[in-house]
Structure 1
Amino acid sequence: MSSATPSFPDRIELTGEGLVLRDWTESDLAAMPALFDHTDIAYWTPIVSPFDDEAARTRLDRARKLRTDGTGILLAITVDGGAPLGEVMLKRAPEGTELGYAVGPAHRGQGLAARAVRVMAGYAFEELGAEQVILELEAENAASVGVATSTGFRVLDVPLIKGEEKGRPYVLQTWGLDRP
């Protein structure tokens, strides 16, 4: 992290769109497997699978390390600051300020991902001075394409990102949203 890059505060709580995005805490560990141990999340995201109590502890530790390193933040998506319903991520990467999200299966269909992306993009623009935020997703992931289009992202004219995760090849498109 360069000295020109603002560091993240020790504690973050973002509100808007009927949501409270907050830091993961020890008390969330028991709820995390129900959110992340699902075939869709295993297939479309790099989140470890199966996602058990040990994976929850590892994710909490990773969230804290990313924050300390100044490279990213992982926040619980909640409606009131209480029970987590999913996660939204912001990562500083060479490609740009990247956002990501995962919503627990029991909480889908409420627009949580789109609302969380809008709140996190606002944070990136207003607090971090980002000129653009990006999403990297597979064109076949209809739910994520829906989130990207509904939040104003557009496919960027940049090379596709090809790789392999969990033994499965993937091809990611980069979608961008410019500072308003």
Structure 2
Amino acid sequence: MTSSSADTSASPHPAFPEHIRLMGEGLVLRDWDETDLGAMPDLFDHPDIAHWTPIVSPFDAEAARARLTKARELRAAGIAVLLAITHDGGAPLGEVMLRRSPEGTEIGYAVGPAHRGQGIAARAVRVMAAYAFGELGAHQVILELEAENTSSVAVATKTGFRLLDIPLIEGEEKGRAFALQTWGLDRP
């Protein structure tokens, strides 16, 4: 992604709240802040995250600062919210994102390697979906993922998403071709 201005005057979306803290499923989803910069490389500098997500790789201290800045710009522009996934509001375990896009209200996530296998991604997706339905009035939320990403397919099915009968989203990123399926979850 390229850097964008935080000016919301031309944004087609209202800005998100300046601060967001969501609780549920034994998790607290909270704003990233400067105290998280040191933990972010341990979460995001991993071959799986480099392969399956658009997160920059290698992910170092400079990338952490750039991600925090970009998260604030995207929020101010009303495009996306990136929140730290935590157990209690403290140390981050990963990230969950909600993005307004032409395809719909999209959720994305990345869980640090040391925190996988605990159902954190599925729980964070459910909390973020509840926020999208309850606070933003979304009628459907979507996940865009590669069929070969078996961990993300498992999260999609575990959280009640269904594969939508729409064309694949094809492209190239980081020198690798991808084909994303779109999974949807309708408002309860």
Q: Which band: TM-score by shorter chain? A: over 0.9
Residue identity opposite 1:112 in structure 2: I
- Matched position secondary structure for 2:74: helix
- Report the TM-score, using the length of structure 1 for normalisation: 0.98
**Percent identity over the alignment?**
76
Aligned-pair RMSD on alpha carbons?
0.7
Give CA deviations for 1:93-150 in whole Å, capped at 9, x if unaligned. 0000000000000000010000000000000000000000000000000000000000
In 1, Cα distance between the equivalents of 2:36 and 2:52? 23
Match of 2:131 among 115, 120, 123: 123
Alignment of 1:106-117 (within 5 A): 106-117=114-125
- Superposition deviation, residue 6 in structure 1: 4.2
When the two structures are superposed, what TM-score results if normalisation uses the length of structure 2? 0.93
Q: Distance in 2 between matches of 1:170 and 1:104?
A: 22
Give the whole-Å Cα distance in 1 for the aligned partners of 2:35 and 2:174.
Answer: 29
Q: Pick from 69, 73, 77: which aligns with 1:61? A: 69
- For 2:187 and 2:118, locate their aligned partners in 1 and report how far apart those are by CA, in whole Å: 25
SS at match of 1:64: helix
> What letter is aligned with 2:132?
A
Counterpart position of 1:172: 180
**Structure 2 unaligned spans of 5+:** 1-10
**Structure 1, unpaired ranges of 5+:** none
What amino acid does structure 2 have at the position aligned with 1:172? Answer: L
| Counterpart-to-counterpart distance in 2, 1:23 and 1:41 | 20
Determine helix, strand or coil for the equivalent of 1:136: strand
Distance 1:171 1:77 in 2: 27
- Match 2:41 to one of 30, 33, 37: 33
Runs of 4+ that moved beyond 2 A: none
Matched residue type, 2:71 = A
Structure 1 residue 7: Cα displacement: 2.8
Q: How many residues matched? A: 178
Contact kept in structure 2, 1:19 and 1:77, CA below 8 Å: yes
